[in-house]
């Protein structure tokens, strides 16, 4: 617009003055100035509204400043020189041309304050001074008028420029805030998809990648495998050494896994001690299995952390899906199921998902539901296996064993329903049911001891001791007649909790026995630490003493050790008279097994021991051997 105004006004003056003066001044010079204006006008037209960088904008503004100053000098000098050639009307046109052009150009340059000031100083000042004295003062009014208008115009433009500068600054600030907001958004998105502890992608990122895989459709979707990793023994590390050590262990293990990661694999920490890898390739299952086995091998050696040596393992499940076979959630679920299968079968291994795993899972779920209904319907019973005093053959106690004879689908052995009950948390209800029923049924037989097995899952409950005390109070069963049996595995996994619970139970007068001795790694330190009243030698060890010399020596040593620590010894699984004799000679106080009796119901025990009180006790002590309870068929 600026250059358009200059060209039109200049050509109008040229048209008027073409017949006056020299052609170089009246025609050629203004035509040259018009050419410059046309070139600059075209340049700005080509730029148009396109976005320019800050650096490019600065270059344009500097060039505009220089050109505004130069052109203002050129046009003012040309106009003032031309004034003396024309008649009165032509001179008036020059005055009008210079005044109108300066005002118009100033408004066109209003966004660039320095250029406006250049035009005003170079144009208005010479114009006003010249026309105050030119032509005998005929144009003094025009000169003063232009000077006053220019002052007002500059004041208005300065205010406008300030507002415009503030607008530009505000826009720059807004853009900067938008950039910062976008940066924070990107950072939040990154943090939302990154595990803060290990620096690995998290569950959200993994599921997002699986979602992208699913969105590709069956045709474009590659074969993909999910590797689900769960650390074995991590909870014990946290419990023993604290969460800080557990966090450091997570970082160490994560780096170990990353070092053996197949190329192009996404590896994520899902939370806690769980990790997962996503492998997409033609041989996804093969790569996943190789990676999973490498994970398990990498944890065979202990991990050194400062002055501590820590052992953990890994249970790994793999699920692989061909295009169109299943969706992302199902694939992840299958890997999870495969991992839990490893957990339930010894841990530290690899399992590839098979449809049979779902069938097994469904069976366990159905069995879990049946256990709940069985408890509500009273389908469970307690049977009792006699424990015999080795020296006299008298019945001194019975061990309570849980059975499920009332199951609608047929009786189920404890080795089948107990693991399901432990995994589902129902073992607490089953255990308390067995304890209560046994106390109620054995209480009338005065002096007869009662042994009850305690599941590790029950022992984990901080309220377990209170539940036991409540049952003893309600059934009026003497605490000194009750003996609770605990397996050694729980002692190793939860030593502090075990020590607290055992101390509390013994404080109530209850005896505590270490069950299945000889099947694990219980040390003398454990025996001394917990102060058991009795140890029970496992059947797998006691049954070999008749043909295995080393087993016989080991059993004799265990009995001497226990007796030296003021602990009684019971041998389980006695199935022959020779075994019973050898165990008796070795110093074993009590014997238990099919040689004496299979487990009996309360009714069967009452048939053999019908009396209560002192007479019942005398009857039991009167047996020289316990053959009366011996079954014809031990199966």
* pLDDT given for residue 519 in this prediction: 64
Asked if pLDDT for residue 334 goes beyond 60, the answer is yes
* pLDDT given for residue 308 in this prediction: 83
Asked if pLDDT for residue 575 goes beyond 50, the answer is yes
* pLDDT given for residue 549 in this prediction: 84
Cα separation of 441 and 481, whole Å? 13
Residue 66 lies in a domain: yes
pLDDT, tens digit, for every residue of 349-381? 999 998 888 887 788 888 999 999 999 999 999
Q: In sequence order, what DSSP letters do the residues of 246-301 get, joined into one string?
A: HHHHHHHHHHHHHHTPPTT-EEEEEETTEEEEEEESTTHHHHHHHHHHHHHHHTTS
Comparing 543 with 512, which gets the higher pLDDT?
Answer: 512
Q: Are residues 30 and 106 in the same domain?
A: yes
* pLDDT given for residue 450 in this prediction: 95
- CA atoms within 13 Å, Cβ hemisphere of 9: 24
Residue 128 lies in a domain: yes
Q: Are residues 207 and 326 in the same domain?
A: yes
* pLDDT given for residue 624 in this prediction: 37
Average pLDDT over every residue of 194-211: 86
* pLDDT given for residue 452 in this prediction: 95
Q: Are residues 270 and 340 in the same domain?
A: yes
Residue 633 lies in a domain: no
Average pLDDT over every residue of 603-625: 55
* pLDDT given for residue 494 in this prediction: 67
- 529 burial level (CB within 10 Å; 0-12, 13-18, 19+): middle
* pLDDT given for residue 150 in this prediction: 74
Cα separation of 569 and 581, whole Å? 15
Contacts within 8 Å (CB) and 24+ apart, 145-153: 146/99, 146/102, 146/103, 149/103, 150/102, 150/103, 150/106, 150/120, 150/124, 153/103, 153/106, 153/107, 153/120
Asked if pLDDT for residue 622 goes beyond 60, the answer is no
Residues with Cβ within 8 Å of 576's Cβ and at least 6 positions away in sequence, in order, are 546, 595
Specify which of 28-32, 89-93, 522-526 reaches the highest per-range mean pLDDT. Answer: 28-32
Written in H, E and C, the secondary structure of 88-135 is HHHHHHHHHHHHHHHHHHHHHCCCCHHHHHHHHHHHHHHHHHHHHHHH
Residue 493 lies in a domain: no
Q: What is the CA radius of gyration of the chain?
A: 49
Q: Are residues 163 and 253 in the same domain?
A: no
Domain that holds residue 148: 2-173
- 246 burial level (CB within 10 Å; 0-12, 13-18, 19+): buried
Domain count, the chain: 2
Cα separation of 82 and 395, whole Å? 141
At residue 618 the predicted structure's pLDDT band, cuts being 50, 70 and 90, is: very low
Q: Are residues 340 and 212 in the same domain?
A: yes
Asked if pLDDT for residue 627 goes beyond 50, the answer is no
Lowest mean pLDDT among 113-122, 163-172, 308-317: 113-122
Comparing 79 with 405, which gets the higher pLDDT?
Answer: 405
At residue 523 the predicted structure's pLDDT band, cuts being 50, 70 and 90, is: low
Q: Are residues 35 and 143 in the same domain?
A: yes
Q: Are residues 253 and 308 in the same domain?
A: yes
**For residue 266, which of 215, 185, 193 has the smallest C-alpha distance?**
193
pLDDT, tens digit, for every residue of 475-509? 999 999 999 998 876 666 667 778 888 899 999 99
* pLDDT given for residue 433 in this prediction: 94
The residue out of 120, 153, 173 marking a domain boundary is 173
Handedness of CA 54, 59, 62, 64 (dihedral sign): negative
* pLDDT given for residue 524 in this prediction: 66
Residue 124 lies in a domain: yes
Residue 430 lies in a domain: no
Average pLDDT, the chain: 83
Asked if pLDDT for residue 448 goes beyond 60, the answer is yes
Q: Are residues 94 and 142 in the same domain?
A: yes
* pLDDT given for residue 551 in this prediction: 82
Asked if pLDDT for residue 613 goes beyond 70, the answer is no
* pLDDT given for residue 522 in this prediction: 54
Contact predicate 318/288, CB 8 Å: yes
Handedness of CA 93, 94, 96, 101 (dihedral sign): positive
For the record, the structure tokens of 142 come out as: 């025009």
Beta bridge partners of 266: 278
Lowest mean pLDDT among 20-24, 346-350, 588-592: 20-24
Asked if pLDDT for residue 461 goes beyond 70, the answer is yes
The residue out of 353, 377, 404 marking a domain boundary is 353
For the record, the structure tokens of 28 come out as: 């050629």
Comparing 628 with 588, which gets the higher pLDDT?
Answer: 588
* pLDDT given for residue 630 in this prediction: 47
At residue 632 the predicted structure's pLDDT band, cuts being 50, 70 and 90, is: very low
Residue 330 lies in a domain: yes
Specify which of 159-163, 184-188, 479-483, 615-619 reaches the highest per-range mean pLDDT. Answer: 479-483
Coil, strand or helix at 193: coil
* pLDDT given for residue 167 in this prediction: 87
For the record, the structure tokens of 607 come out as: 């048939």
Average pLDDT over every residue of 507-513: 93
Q: Are residues 89 and 219 in the same domain?
A: no
The stretches of 392-463 forming alpha helices (DSSP H) are 414-424, 427-442, 456-459
Asked if pLDDT for residue 218 goes beyond 70, the answer is no
- CA atoms within 13 Å, Cβ hemisphere of 563: 12
At residue 628 the predicted structure's pLDDT band, cuts being 50, 70 and 90, is: very low
Cα separation of 27 and 456, whole Å? 111
Average pLDDT over every residue of 234-239: 84
* pLDDT given for residue 401 in this prediction: 94
Q: Are residues 146 and 211 in the same domain?
A: no
* pLDDT given for residue 482 in this prediction: 95
Residue 437 lies in a domain: no
Coil, strand or helix at 477: coil
pLDDT, tens digit, for every residue of 534-556? 989 888 888 888 888 888 888 88
Comparing 238 with 450, which gets the higher pLDDT?
Answer: 450
Comparing 21 with 634, which gets the higher pLDDT?
Answer: 21
* pLDDT given for residue 231 in this prediction: 93
At residue 217 the predicted structure's pLDDT band, cuts being 50, 70 and 90, is: low
Q: What CATH number did the domain enclosing 243 receive?
A: 3.30.70.270
Cα separation of 318 and 333, whole Å? 10
Cα separation of 467 and 630, whole Å? 35
Q: Are residues 89 and 150 in the same domain?
A: yes
Asked if pLDDT for residue 282 goes beyond 60, the answer is yes
The residue out of 336, 353, 370 marking a domain boundary is 353
Cα separation of 125 and 108, whole Å? 19
Share of the chain above pLDDT 90, in %: 25
Coil, strand or helix at 515: strand
Q: Are residues 140 and 259 in the same domain?
A: no
* pLDDT given for residue 220 in this prediction: 55
């Amino acid at each position: 617009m600026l250059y358009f105004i200059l060209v039109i006004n200049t050509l109008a003056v040229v048209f008027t003055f073409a017949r006056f003066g020299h052609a170089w001044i009246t025609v050629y010079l203004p035509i040259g100035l018009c050419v410059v204006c046309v070139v600059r006008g075209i340049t700005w037209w080509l730029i148009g509204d396109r976005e320019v960088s800050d650096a490019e904008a600065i270059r344009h503004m500097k060039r505009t400043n220089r050109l505004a100053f130069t052109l203002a000098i050129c046009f003012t000098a040309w106009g003032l020189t031309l004034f003396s050639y024309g008649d009165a009307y032509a001179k008036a046109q020059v005055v009008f041309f210079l005044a109108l052009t300066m005002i118009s150009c100033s408004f066109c340059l209003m966004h660039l304050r320095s250029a406006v000031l250049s035009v005003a100083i170079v144009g208005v000042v010479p114009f006003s001074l010249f026309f105050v004295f030119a032509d005998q003062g005929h144009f003094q009014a025009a000169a003063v008028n232009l000077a006053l208008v220019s002052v007002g115009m500059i004041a208005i433009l300065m205010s406008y420029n300030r507002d415009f500068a503030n607008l530009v600054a505000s826009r720059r600030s807004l853009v900067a805030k938008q950039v910062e907001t976008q940066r924070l958004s990107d950072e939040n998105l990154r943090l939302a998809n990154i595990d803060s502890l290990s620096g690995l992608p998290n569950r959200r990122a993994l599921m997002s990648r699986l979602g992208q895989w699913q969105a590709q459709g069956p045709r474009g979707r590659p074969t993909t495998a999910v590797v689900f990793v769960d650390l074995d023994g991590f909870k014990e590390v946290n419990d023993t050494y604290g969460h800080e050590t557990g966090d450091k262990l997570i970082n160490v293990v994560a780096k170990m896994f990353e070092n053996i990661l197949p190329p192009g694999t996404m590896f994520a920490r899902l939370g806690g001690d769980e990790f997962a890898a996503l492998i997409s390739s033609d041989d996804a299952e093969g790569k996943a299995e190789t990676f999973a086995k490498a994970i398990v091998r990498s944890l065979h050696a202990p991990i050194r952390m400062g002055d501590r040596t820590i052992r953990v393992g890994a249970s790994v499940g793999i699920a692989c899906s061909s295009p169109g076979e299943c969706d992302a959630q199902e694939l992840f679920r299958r890997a999870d199921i495969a991992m839990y299968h490893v957990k339930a079968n010894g841990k530290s291994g690899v399992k590839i998902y098979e449809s049979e795993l779902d069938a097994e899972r469904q069976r366990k779920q159905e069995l879990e539901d049946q256990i709940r209904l069985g408890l509500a319907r009273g389908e469970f019973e307690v049977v009792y296996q006699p424990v015999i005093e080795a020296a006299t053959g008298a019945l001194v106690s019975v061990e309570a064993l849980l059975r499920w004879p009332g199951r609608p689908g047929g009786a189920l052995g404890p080795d089948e329903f107990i693991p399901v009950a432990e995994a589902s948390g129902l073992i607490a209800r089953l255990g308390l049911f067995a304890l209560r029923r046994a106390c109620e049924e054995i209480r009338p037989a005065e002096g007869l001891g009662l042994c009850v097995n305690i599941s590790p899952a029950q022992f984990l409950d901080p309220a377990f001791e209170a539940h036991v005390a409540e049952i003893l109070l309600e059934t009026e069963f003497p605490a000194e007649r009750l003996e609770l049996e605990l397996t050694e595995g729980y002692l190793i996994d939860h030593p502090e909790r075990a020590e607290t619970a055992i101390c509390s139970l013994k404080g109530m007068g209850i005896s505590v026995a270490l069950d299945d001795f000889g099947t694990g790694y219980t040390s003398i330190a454990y025996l001394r630490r917990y102060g058991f009243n009795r140890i029970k030698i496992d059947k797998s060890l006691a049954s070999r003493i008749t043909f295995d010399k080393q087993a016989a020596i080991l059993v004799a040593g265990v009995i001497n050790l226990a007796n030296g620590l003021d602990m009684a010894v019971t041998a389980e699984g006695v199935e022959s008279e020779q075994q019973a004799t050898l165990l008796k000679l070795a110093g074993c106080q009590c014997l238990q097994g099919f040689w004496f009796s299979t487990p009996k119901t309360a009714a069967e025990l009452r048939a053999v021991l019908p009396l209560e009180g002192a007479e019942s006790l005398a009857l039991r002590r009167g047996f020289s051997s316990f053959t009366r309870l011996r079954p014809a068929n031990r199966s």
